[in-house]
Amino acid sequence: MRTVRHDSGGSAPVDDGDPSVRSLAQDAISAFVHAPIAVAVCEPDGVVTRVNDAVTRLLGYPAAELVGRDLFRLVDGPLVAAAVEACRSLREGTTSAVVHETRFRTADGRLLDVRVTTSAVRAGTTAHPHAIMHLEDTTDREDLRRRLQHEATHDPLTGLGNRTRFLDELQRALPRGERHGEPVTVLYLDLDDFKTVNDTRGHATGDRVLRAFADHLRGTVRPEDTTARLGGDEFAVLCEGTTARAAGLVVERLTDGSWGRGPGDGDLPRVGVTVGAATSPGPDGRHLDPEELMHAADAVMYAAKARRRG
């Protein structure tokens, strides 16, 4: 006996006795269950109603622990607000699909980079409005991107930021300091007679000196300060919210001669450090741009070197 019914949206009648209809339903179920990409069906508010096996493999949770939960609860804490905001247009009905990148915490505690594509299925198309989420693991791609980004902005010998990263940070720090009425200080550092070390002890020893000083630099400044190797034996520190007087205390710690005395450093030649400091706003109250501030700190450093030679 063939049964003809109408779907709740009032569209054309569906013939339950039609083999093609049965085949389509079976194929849809099979496509969902066996899809290689993770698929979750959610209520409009984000609560999961169904997941396929790929979701459980991706996140490490059994289906029973995912159904009835909001997947946003598994998003890495600092990224939750961005994930919720990305899906706001779906809830408001202004778009039918959104794509955003986020990070999920898996059952074993790992953080997984995931590209989430969410589509809204509205009332009228179906009797029960819902959302479909596709989750794609992008961890390998993101790891490669982060590695390339790190290599482009960091010195490979010391692990400090390079000139490009330092100038980028300075470019952002100066307007921020101006807005908040806080000084920004740059320290420009140069190792004394470093060329002599390379010439008499070899470049391998010179590299050890550079790495030892980089460790000293990291251990002396605040975690929020930006450190960089500008090239050769020149280094820099960006200190936000730091007056010239406070920077003087940092300079004292940097030049106290204590560095390079750690385990395995006993044969390192002693190398002095000359530092120049400049602060924006300057003594006349004028705010300096990045080039002016770097040039001012560099000039103070070379003046100090000249006095020492004299």
With a cut of 70, which residues of the chain have pLDDT below it? 1-22, 125-127, 260-266, 310
pLDDT at 6: 39
Which CATH code is given to the segment(s) 154-309? Answer: 3.30.70.270
Q: pLDDT tens for residues 32-87? A: 888 899 999 999 888 999 999 999 999 999 999 999 998 889 999 889 988 888 88
Q: Which of 154, 112, 100, 102 lies closest to 137, judged by CA?
A: 112
Q: Which CATH superfamily is domain 35-144 in?
A: PAS domain (3.30.450.20)
pLDDT at 108: 94
Separation CA 33–CA 29 (nearest Å): 6
pLDDT at 19: 59
pLDDT at 227: 97
Tokens of 267: 């044969």
- Kindly tell me the sign of the dihedral angle through the C-alpha atoms of 275, 280, 285, 289: positive
Active site includes 233? yes
Domains 35-144 and 154-309 agree in fold:
no
pLDDT at 94: 84
pLDDT at 185: 97
- Kindly tell me the sign of the dihedral angle through the C-alpha atoms of 125, 126, 129, 130: negative
Q: Are strands 97-105 and 111-121 parallel, antiparallel or unpaired?
A: antiparallel
Strand order in the sheet with 184-191: 226-231, 234-240, 184-191, 273-280
- The catalytic residue among 113, 190, 233, 298 is 233
φ, ψ at 49 (rounded to 5°)? -110, -25
pLDDT at 203: 92
Q: Where are the domains of the chain?
A: 35-144, 154-309
Contact residues for 233 (Cβ-Cβ < 8 A; gap 6+): 190, 191, 194, 195, 210
